[in-house]
Amino acid sequence: MSAPVLPRVLQGATDRPLTLAQHEAMWGQWRPRRDLLDELDRAGLTGRGGAAFPTATKARLLRDQHARKKFVVVNAMEGEPASHKDATIAQSNPHLVLDGALSLATAIGASHIALCVAREKASMVNHFERALRERERRGSLGVVVEIHTPPGRYIAGEESALVHWLDDNETLPQYRPQRPSILRIGRAPVLVDNAETHAHVGLITRWGAEWFRSIGTAQSPGSMVVSVSGAVTRPVVLEIALGTPLAEVLAAARADTDPQAVLLGGYGGSFLSAEHLSTPMANEVLRPLGASVGAGVIVVIPRAACGITETHNIVRWMAHESARQCGPCAFGLPALAEDLAQLVTGGRDAAAALTRMSERSDVIEGRGGCRHPDGVVRLLRSALQVFAADAHRHAAGQPCAYAGRSRFATVPRLELENDLVWE
């Protein structure tokens, strides 16, 4: 049996998930690895959910906790509207995710695995339920594995909000001034990683660090699953080697290869203008540009689009999806959305709205109970820089021909269309 090159996590992906027998025919039977944390350290695996924190460091922090009970939490919530990678992984091979969760549970001494999928995603829940039943029929898993279905709001996928829901049935982020910090269900410490990260752990358990680092860059090793949408033939999920130039990713996704801009990292990420399409998909190169690979989300904005309208569409939805537990989310984000609405229409208050957005962003940043408002501010600032010419034309009362026609950065319909300020 030879080690996979690319795709790795998505090898054998079809529209039907692999059975346990098919999974083991492809990868072999799962066995725990006694040196797993050292191997993860050598591999340089970082979380694929957005924060890119070293997986081995998080796991060691939990391993060193002396507790009668520990949890491994698989975060398969995927509340990002432009992300479809967790759903694709669940549809192709949920057993690989379970392999990674079992590996980490063994390594840190956890007795429970909580597999979290948004309740609205019935097909994902079904894929994981079937995979668990297959394993249970074979015999004991050695740990308690339970599927949980929190509400599928954007903020519910933030790891502290997810653990809060598991602990107290509330999807509210927990204030954490320093990271890493230990999250708990009751008194039990919790290790949280997203579904893709667990899948990579499952592969590293089998093939080791040297194999994992055989693609990617020295600082960003391995592969990543990315979701590409916007100006594309159809939204697509791909697995790429980190360090692949952005232009090559767009070509592989059959996207517009001469766009106005791309949004990287999701709806709390950053816009990059077309001049940066040769940039490798690696954080060490993207960070000086104010961007990151984030959770592997790429939204392509064509030249025949209004970047200001696209940004308003996202900010308005993100304001609605906040936890509403602090001033920056409850009042600051709706105010930014309203300023953007005025800028889009180019009315008499548009110039003042442009100035207010800069002032509000300075007040909001760093003052939220979680990182949600910071992500919105980052997105907005990058938009006002990348689409600066359009923004100033709008402010001068000359909206572009595409103003108000947002359709590339898609978001779900708001439950209450005008509900952006809460009492």
Region 105-119: what's the mean pLDDT? 97
DSSP character at residue 179: S
Give bridge partners of residue 301 from the DSSP assignment: 261
| β-bridge pairing 236-241 and 223-230 | antiparallel
What burial class does residue 218 get, using C-beta atoms within 10 Å of its C-beta: 0-12 exposed, 13-18 middle, 19+ buried?
exposed
Predicted confidence (pLDDT) per residue in 36-93, tens digit: 999 999 999 999 998 889 999 999 999 999 999 999 999 999 989 999 999 999 999 9
Phi first, then psi: give them for residue 188, nearest 5 degrees: -85, 125
Distance CA(20)–CA(18), nearest Å, equals 7
* CA-to-CA dists, residue 31 to 94, 102, 186, angstroms: 17, 9, 30
* 2: its two tokens: 């030879």
* 93: its two tokens: 């091979």
- Domains along the chain? 20-212 (3.40.50.11540), 223-301 (3.10.20.600), 307-395 (1.20.1440.230)
For residue 107, how many C-alpha atoms fall within 13 Å in the half-sphere facing its CB?
Answer: 31
The answer to whether residues 78 and 50 touch, using CB atoms and an 8 Å cutoff, is no
Predicted confidence (pLDDT) per residue in 376-416, tens digit: 999 999 999 999 999 999 999 998 889 888 789 988 876 54
420 vs 225, higher pLDDT: 225
Dihedral of CA 289/291/292/296: which sign?
A: negative
Distance CA(72)–CA(151), nearest Å, equals 20
Per-residue DSSP letters for 323-376? ---SHIIIIIHHHHHHHHHHHHHT-TTHHHHHHHHHHHHHHHTT-SSSSHHHHH
DSSP character at residue 196: H
What burial class does residue 123 get, using C-beta atoms within 10 Å of its C-beta: 0-12 exposed, 13-18 middle, 19+ buried?
exposed
Predicted confidence (pLDDT) per residue in 181-215, tens digit: 799 999 999 999 999 999 999 999 999 999 999 99
| pTM metric for this prediction | 0.94
Band of residue 176 on the pLDDT scale cut at 50, 70, 90: low
Of these ranges, 37-51, 159-173, 323-337, the one predicted with the greatest mean pLDDT is: 37-51
Distance CA(197)–CA(101), nearest Å, equals 9
Give bridge partners of residue 232 from the DSSP assignment: 255
What is the radius of gyration, based on Cα positions, of the chain? 21
The answer to whether residues 132 and 52 touch, using CB atoms and an 8 Å cutoff, is no
- What pLDDT is recorded for position 378? 97
Q: Estimate the crossing angle of helix 307-320 against helix 388-395, to 10 degrees.
A: 90
